[in-house]
Amino acid sequence: MSAEAHAHGHADGHGHHGHGHHDEGFIKKYLWSTDHKMIGFQYMFTGMAMALLGGFTVYAFRMQLAFPGISVPGYGRVTATDYNALVTTHGSVMIFWVAMPVLIAALGNYLIPLMIGCDDMVFPRLNRLSYQIFLISAIVLIASFYVDGGAFGGAWTSYPPLSAKAEFSLTPKGSTLWLLAVALEFVAFLLGGINFVTTVMNSRAPGMKMFDVPIVVWMIIIASILFMASVGPLVAGAVMLLFDQQLGTGFFDPAKGGDPVLWQHLFWFFGHPEVYVVLLPAMGIVAEIITVFSRKKLFAYKTVLYTAIGTGVLSFFVWAHHQFIAGIDPRMANIFSVTTLLISIPVAEMCFVYIATLYGGSIRLTTPMLWALAFIGEFLLGGVTGIFLGASGADIYFHDTYFVIAHFHYTFFPIAFIAVFAAVTYWFPKMFGKHMNDTLGKMHFWGTIISFNFIFIPLFVLGARGDHRRIYDYRHFPDLMKPGMQDLRILATVALLVLLAFQVVFLANFIYSLFKGRKAEANPWNANTLEWHAPSPPPHGNFPEGLPTVHRGPYEYSHPDRQDDFWPQHLAGDARSAQS
Amino acid sequence: MIRPIATTREATGMPTGRLAVWWVIASEIVIFGGVLGSYIMHRLGHPEWANQSVHTNTWAGAFNTFVLLTSSLCAVLAHQAAEAKDGKKAAKFLMFTVLGGLVFLIVKSFEWSHEIHAGYTLTSNTFWSFYYTAAGLHGLHVIAGMIIMLFVAADARHNRELQRVENIGIYWHFVDVVWIFLFPLLYIAK
Amino acid sequence: MLEHYLESASTFSGDIDNLIIMVAVIVGFWFLLAEFVFIGLILKFKAQPGVKAKYVAGEDPKEKRWVAWPHYATLIFDVMIIVAAIRVWHHVKQEMPPADETVRVIAQQWAWTFVHPGADGKLDTADDISVVDELHVQKDKTYHFELLSRDVLHSFSVPVFRLKQDAIPGRVIKGWFKPTMTGQFDVQCTEICGIGHGIMPARIIIDTPERHAQWVAANTTGGAAPQNAGGTK
């Protein structure tokens, strides 16, 4: 954690409102900070550390699938118990402790005050508390590996009765710790979400009207509201499941008048909006980057906004498509099949808008731009394969096969990694005042993208051929050991190893650039949004020359009346409105 | 610490603290909505739970409803006093509100110990699981509200942070409204 | 396409395959078109010295139609897919053609017990045949199944039938299938059910009526239930 601190702290111009924080000690500055940027970094580095854990678990279980029974280097033999715990941890960690903290908490914390032109979040101490609870949740999750019976292995969806009773799961403590960790994580993000929403509603720079707010900020806010509105029932469900586990109640136990399917409803009522909770910020990042590097105004700003809101609203009515064959009334599947396919319309429209933005541009294929474009290209495949699963008749076959896994990794990998790499490479100069190395960046990009496709295209094929999920050794199933199937599993695993190896390039680039990178000026990309008006890196209080005033929308690139091809939001001047 | 400028801005025209309280309530509504929605779905599927709910004490529940409503009235009076910049009076009314919360909890504990003695515990039936879980979750909110209110009252007495009197009042009304839903669902429906 | 990799062995497996192919053709076309336009635009509008980007707000209806038309196309094709999907779904999951025979499928950690009705064709009689991890059925007969679970959630999946249904403790879930070819195939549990989830394979054995009758006879001795392997009735 001290690494970024050096780079961050050296330009110690204090805020105009004089917090008087110059000489604070190490702990106060890096661990007990209330500064939104530092909290953003805390979330980012914790998320990156958890991504290493998520990566390690997938390495261990993919090795077992490709070469069943071998002793995996660095792990050992993967037993059936281990395998379940590894896949459960991989899923939980990547969604709750990587995608959520990095996309929403880290970028939200870092970007919101800078992009709306104020000095901090409205509740800095609440913000600090939110991170601390999040950190505890991560520790609780890791601790669950070291208790009797080991970590929970009932999948990240944690369906009861398996998750509710120790006699079924055989992880008496692991399942409770898992549940506790997830619940704490929810509390952290609820606090963070309230802070984000209140900040953006109340503390925008003077002159920044609703449609002058950068799309990424809008997206984080819509995502935070979606999260708040959807997580409540699952919090209630978590309390009920905890009581079932520890006190012997029977909320999910049919023998006592409960219903196991209730948990599935509570879980997916949250779980499906959750997909859009992480998708929307990623879409926002991409909007910022493609406009800057194609020097174009965003095509139909309001349409993007409305499709995001439409997606958010619709996402509350699709949850049961995870349960088509779960024993719900089959007539319900028809309704949810309709809503599920309808949600493809706003999401597809968002992709169309981004593609249309490229038209007539002056496209520069920098590293962040490559990542942003790759997001669109890859996410499209994730999106269209969802249609197979939303179509109830086809889902009877595809449900719980590797086709599903490949589908959601084509959405989640672009969200949690491609968009995040886009964001990190784009905002790195602002965050740390240094440029990243471009050669290493491009090497990392191509290595990651190519190997990513080689992991998941084989999984589509395997899923279509009947491979079902969460099986530690396919040799028990003769139909799944037909010629060629094991080769595809090996191909996916080898591609995974290549992908993991290329992340070393990223880490090396990150650390190298932090210390030895070329020094970055305030606005290296000639971008419009307010964060580029602040020095790189921004000091405590963000804008040493006074908080900015906003005069126009965020995407006034290549305006015909201007010599420059960009027009920063804070510059006074002809107030020809952004919406003209 | 000194507040950031961000906290003092009011682009919506609503003070930041109050705006945040509304968002807290929004996120709480869905939590209670989850519990009550699950309960209602189960209740509809299990008409026989009426045989259990007859053992709840409707009169105690009704009395507690009255107590909470009265305490909400005190919270309103505290807000009025705070508007008039009379911190001492606001603090006094807040203490009355806390007292109301205390009476509520005392009645509740008598009720629960009576029911537990009669053999109706958390695990005896899923109706009772819902009963204790929903009311317990609500009780925790009552306790949290009381603690926060003590802090707010301590500040208000010295005419500090008077805007918080209104904020905690809004929260307290919410806790009250949740009870208005719990009471008929758990006690009256028989 | 699919049956090349995995036999299509029930009356509705072909319907599901056709639905999958229909979706594949529709979304495949649009996916390729979108990628083609996307990559084309990137290549066409790469930055060139002295060329300024266009200033397009995208709010004008004339510009917006570039997004609006694909949008309507999405809607139309969505409706087509929905209609096809619901038809298949209705056929597989909502209709129950009259049964020739009913089997009971009991899932537990971590084995399947299949209760066959025996020679009299009725369940819950003395000649029921319970077998662990082997389901014996005949070609061209309509079967109903009753799906039960003794402990946690399981899922009864027969990939060659394209059939899948979760088992829920405390409920009896009904469904149907009609095999169209003979052979032996995998039955899988596709809902995680604990540490033995990966070792819960079973086989379905589809025979001709004659061979099936032989199997029934071999496992029935004078009205008693001999092979009471699952320990159930």
- CB count in 10 Å sphere of residue A398: 21
Chains with 3+ CB–CB pairs under 8 A to B are: A
Chain B residues whose beta carbon lies within 8 Å of the beta carbon of residue A198 = 16, 19-20, 23
- CB-nearest partner of A232 from B5, B6, B33: B33
pLDDT of residue A23: 58
Structural contact between residues C187 and C157, judged by C-beta atoms closer than 8 angstroms: yes
Domain count, chain A: 2
Residue A400: pLDDT band (50, 70, 90) is: very high
CB pair distance less than 8 Å for B27 and A231: yes
* Strand bridging mode C163-167 / C202-207: unpaired
Residue B178 DSSP SS3: helix
pLDDT of residue A399: 95
Written in H, E and C, the secondary structure of B82-100 is HHCCCHHHHHHHHHHHHHH
One-letter identity of residue A491: L
pLDDT of residue C58: 84
d(CA A245, CA A108): 35
Asked if residue C157 has pLDDT above 50, the reply is yes
CB pair distance less than 8 Å for A397 and C162: yes
One-letter identity of residue B99: L
The pLDDT tens digits for A534-555 are 999 999 999 999 999 999 999 9
Structural contact between residues B99 and B117, judged by C-beta atoms closer than 8 angstroms: no
Instruction: Give the A window 154-193 contacts with C, CB below 8 Å.
Output: 154-155, 159-162, 168-170
Structural contact between residues C175 and C145, judged by C-beta atoms closer than 8 angstroms: yes
The pLDDT tens digits for A405-451 are 999 999 999 999 999 999 999 999 999 999 999 999 999 999 999 99
Predicted TM-score (pTM) of the model is 0.92
Residue C225: pLDDT band (50, 70, 90) is: very low
Q: Which two tokens stand for residue B104?
A: 């509520």
Q: Is residue A387 part of a domain?
A: yes
Q: Which two tokens stand for residue C17?
A: 């395959």
Average pLDDT over residues B31-44: 93
pLDDT of residue B50: 87
d(CA B128, CA B56): 10
Q: How far away is chain C from the Cα of A154, in angstroms, using its nearest Cα? A: 6
CB pair distance less than 8 Å for C78 and A478: no
| Full domain range(s) for residue A575 | 521-580
Task: Among A351, A367, A394, identify where a domain stops.
Answer: A394
Residue in C with minimal Cα distance to A385: C27
Residue C118: pLDDT band (50, 70, 90) is: confident
- The CATH number of the domain covering residues in B59-190: 1.20.120.80
Average pLDDT over residues C69-88: 93
Q: Is residue A49 part of a domain?
A: no
Q: Which two tokens stand for residue C84?
A: 């096809």
d(CA A197, CA A224): 7
One-letter identity of residue C105: V
Task: Among A330, A363, A394, identify where a domain stops.
Answer: A394
Structural contact between residues C223 and C126, judged by C-beta atoms closer than 8 angstroms: yes
The pLDDT tens digits for A300-337 are 999 999 999 999 999 999 999 999 999 889 999 999 99
Neighbour-count burial of A27, counting CB atoms closer than 10 A to its CB (0-12 exposed, 13-18 middle, 19+ buried): exposed
Task: Among A371, A394, A417, identify where a domain stops.
Answer: A394
Ramachandran angles phi, psi of A475, nearest 5°: -70, -10
Residue in B with minimal Cα distance to A265: B38
Asked if residue B77 has pLDDT above 70, the reply is yes
CB pair distance less than 8 Å for C170 and A254: yes
ipTM surpassing 0.85, yes or no? yes
Instruction: Give the A window 339-358 contacts with C, CB below 8 Å.
Output: 341-342, 344-345, 348-349, 351-353, 355-358
The pLDDT tens digits for A449-462 are 999 999 999 999 99
pLDDT of residue A9: 36
Could you tell me if A262 lies within 8 Å of chain C, comparing CB atoms?
Answer: no
Q: Is residue A193 part of a domain?
A: no
Average pLDDT over residues A115-119: 94
Residue with tokens 């999910």: A252
Average pLDDT over residues B146-156: 95
β-pair partners for C187: C202
Q: Which residues of B lie inside 8 Å of A (Cβ-Cβ)?
A: 1-2, 4-7, 9-12, 14, 16, 19-20, 23-24, 26-35, 37-38, 41-42, 45-46, 49, 122-123, 125-127, 129-130, 133, 137
Average pLDDT over residues C95-117: 94
Give the sign of the dihedral formed by CA A480, CA A482, CA A486, CA A487: negative
d(CA C233, CA C217): 19
CB pair distance less than 8 Å for A232 and B27: yes
Lowest mean pLDDT among A264-273, A565-574, B33-42, B93-102: A565-574
Average pLDDT over residues A74-83: 94
Residue C66: pLDDT band (50, 70, 90) is: confident
pLDDT of residue B52: 87
Average pLDDT over residues B39-68: 91
Lowest mean pLDDT among A251-255, A372-376, A502-506: A251-255
Comparing CA positions, the residue from A308, A328, A312 lying closest to residue A320 is A328
pLDDT of residue B53: 87
Asked if residue A580 has pLDDT above 90, the reply is no
CB pair distance less than 8 Å for B6 and A122: yes
d(CA A466, CA A463): 5
pLDDT of residue A27: 78
Comparing CA positions, the residue from A162, A279, A186 lying closest to residue A234 is A186
CB pair distance less than 8 Å for A17 and B2: yes
The DSSP line for chain C is -HHHHS---BTTHHHHHHHHHHHHHHHHHHHHHHHHHHHHHHHHTB--TT-PPP---S-SHHHHHHHHHHHHHHHHHHHHHHHHHHHHHIIIII--PPPSEEEEEEEETTEEEEEE-TTTT-SSSTT-EEEESEEEEETT--EEEEEEESSS-EEEEEGGGTEEEEE-TT--EEEEE-B-S-EEEEEEE-S--STTGGG--EEEEEE-HHHHHHHHHHT-BTTB----TTS--
Residue A440 DSSP SS3: helix
- CB-nearest partner of B133 from A229, A233, A239: A239
Neighbour-count burial of B162, counting CB atoms closer than 10 A to its CB (0-12 exposed, 13-18 middle, 19+ buried): buried
Average pLDDT over residues C122-140: 92
- CB-nearest partner of A297 from C37, C56, C86: C56
Q: Is residue A54 part of a domain?
A: no
Structural contact between residues A310 and A375, judged by C-beta atoms closer than 8 angstroms: no
Comparing CA positions, the residue from A16, A130, A31, A20 lying closest to residue A5 is A31
Of chain A, the percentage scoring pLDDT greater than 90 comes to 88
Average pLDDT over residues B35-47: 92
Q: Is residue A67 part of a domain?
A: no
β-pair partners for C137: C206
Residue contacts between A and B (CB atoms, under 8 Å): 145
Q: Is residue A56 part of a domain?
A: no
Average pLDDT over residues B81-110: 95
Average pLDDT over residues A42-59: 96
Q: Do chains B and C have 3 or more beta-carbon pairs under 8 angstroms?
A: no
Structural contact between residues A103 and A216, judged by C-beta atoms closer than 8 angstroms: no
CB pair distance less than 8 Å for A199 and B6: yes
Residue with tokens 């809503």: A339
Could you tell me if A306 lies within 8 Å of chain C, comparing CB atoms?
Answer: no
Asked if residue C231 has pLDDT above 70, the reply is no
Q: Is residue A132 part of a domain?
A: no
Structural contact between residues A304 and A298, judged by C-beta atoms closer than 8 angstroms: yes
Average pLDDT over residues A158-169: 92
Residue in A with minimal Cα distance to B121: A249
One-letter identity of residue A162: L
Residue in A with minimal Cα distance to B134: A236
| Average model confidence (pLDDT) across chain A | 91
Q: Where are the domains of chain B?
A: 59-190
pLDDT of residue A24: 65
Chain A residues whose beta carbon lies within 8 Å of the beta carbon of residue B12 = 201-202
Structural contact between residues B123 and A247, judged by C-beta atoms closer than 8 angstroms: yes
- CB-nearest partner of A345 from C63, C78, C186: C78
Asked if residue C23 has pLDDT above 90, the reply is yes
CB pair distance less than 8 Å for A326 and C166: yes
Q: Which two tokens stand for residue B71?
A: 């305490």
Structural contact between residues A366 and A438, judged by C-beta atoms closer than 8 angstroms: yes
A338, A397, A449, A566: best to mutate for the C interface, most C CBs within 10 A: A397
CB pair distance less than 8 Å for A232 and B9: no
Lowest mean pLDDT among A255-259, A305-309, A347-351, B80-84: A255-259
pLDDT of residue C57: 87
Q: Is the peptide bond before A161 cis (omega within 30 degrees of 0)?
A: yes
- CB count in 10 Å sphere of residue A239: 20
Q: Which two tokens stand for residue C166?
A: 């979760």
| Average model confidence (pLDDT) across chain C | 90
Instruction: Give the A window 314-373 contacts with B, CB below 8 Å.
Output: none
Q: Which two tokens stand for residue C137?
A: 């059925």
Q: Which two tokens stand for residue B14?
A: 């609503």
Chain B residues whose beta carbon lies within 8 Å of the beta carbon of residue A251 = 38, 126, 129-130
Of chain C, the percentage scoring pLDDT greater than 70 comes to 94
Residue C222: pLDDT band (50, 70, 90) is: low
Q: Is residue A159 part of a domain?
A: no
Q: Which two tokens stand for residue A308?
A: 């995001």
pLDDT of residue A22: 52
Comparing CA positions, the residue from A98, A99, A58, A93 lying closest to residue A75 is A58
Residue contacts between A and C (CB atoms, under 8 Å): 296
Chains with 3+ CB–CB pairs under 8 A to A are: B, C
Structural contact between residues C81 and C22, judged by C-beta atoms closer than 8 angstroms: yes
Asked if residue A30 has pLDDT above 90, the reply is no
